[in-house]
């Protein structure tokens, strides 16, 4: 379980997160919603260690990871799909996927078949440069790259069009409402995704 407890985050003098808490439990998709600029990305950055928090604690599987570097959190199984995708445009799809090998031990460095089951287009475009993919395909590549490291938890920005924060009448879908909506509660989602460690290798292609 990923447990974010009462964290605050500042950009210089500007406070972006104030006393934010969220739990992401195994086997569940955890969503937090909010308007633009409320702090969704900041919360994700704090969770994966991309930006230091000023107060509060973050624990993962019972261990305090508040002070860990991003690569140390990745090694513990926290995946991340950046808001801007941040794939490498000049690397091929296969090379981009292999950048997810970083936290893995040498004998685990293969691309699980599950990635291609989820995103068949990636398999058919293994040799294409990342920058030549469509926007949606690049998004699939960014998610696939996070899954390559077999994360216990993957943190990602929501897909706005497919999972709108508000319906056509401006109401938030009830099943996505946070328990206690608040102007200071940021909106992001983190989903617990697991790929079987027994998944077979395809990286030699």
Contact residues: ligand ATP, CB under 6 A: 11, 14, 16, 36-42, 186-187
Among 41, 137, 138, 153, binds Mg ion (CB under 5 A): 41
Q: What mask of x and - would describe binding to Mg ion in positions 66 to 85, judged by CB under 5 A?
A: -----------------x--
In the complex, the smallest distance separating the C-beta of residue 85 from Mg ion, rounded to whole angstroms, is 13
Among residues 16, 38, 40, 112, the one that binds Mg ion under rule CB under 5 A: 40
In the structure encoding, which two tokens stand for residue 66, read together? 């508040």
- Pairing assessment for the beta strands 78-81 and 153-156 based on DSSP bridges: parallel
Nearest to ligand ATP of 47, 68 (CB atom): 47
Complex with Mg ion: residue 45 or 150, whichever CB lies closer? 45
Contacts by 58-65 with C-beta closer than 8 Å and gap 24+? 58/2, 58/3, 58/4, 58/5, 58/7, 59/1, 59/2, 59/3, 59/5, 60/1, 60/2, 60/3, 60/152, 60/153, 61/1, 61/152, 62/1
Which of the choices Mg ion, ligand ATP, none does residue 42 contact, using the CB cut-off of 5 to 8 A by kind? ligand ATP
Report the alpha-carbon distance of residue 180 to residue 178 in Å, rounded: 5
Task: Tell me whether residue 26 or residue 37 sits nearer to ligand ATP (CB atom).
Answer: 37
Tokens 């027994």: give the residue.
198
Residues contributing to the site for Mg ion (CB under 5 A)? 40-41, 83
């Amino acid at each position: 379980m990923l447990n974010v407890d009462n964290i605050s985050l500042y950009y210089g003098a500007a406070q972006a997160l104030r006393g934010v808490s969220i739990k992401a439990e195994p086997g569940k998709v955890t969503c937090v919603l909010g308007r633009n600029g409320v702090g969704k990305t900041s919360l994700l950055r704090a969770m994966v260690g991309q930006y230091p928090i000023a107060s509060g604690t973050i624990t993962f599987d019972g261990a305090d990871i508040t002070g860990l570097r991003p690569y140390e959190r990745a090694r513990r199984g926290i995946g991340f799909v950046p808001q801007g995708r941040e794939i490498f445009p000049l690397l091929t799809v296969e090379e981009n996927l292999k950048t997810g090998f970083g936290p893995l031990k040498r004998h685990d460095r293969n691309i699980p078949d599950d990635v291609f089951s989820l995103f068949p287009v990636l398999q058919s475009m293994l040799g294409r440069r990342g920058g030549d993919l469509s926007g949606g395909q690049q998004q699939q590549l960014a998610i696939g790259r996070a899954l390559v490291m077999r994360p216990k938890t993957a943190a990602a920005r929501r897909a706005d069009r497919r999972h709108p924060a508000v319906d056509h009448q401006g109401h938030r879908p009830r099943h996505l409402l946070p328990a206690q909506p608040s102007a200071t509660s940021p909106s992001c989602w983190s989903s617990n995704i697991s790929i079987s460690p027994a998944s077979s290798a395809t990286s030699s292609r």
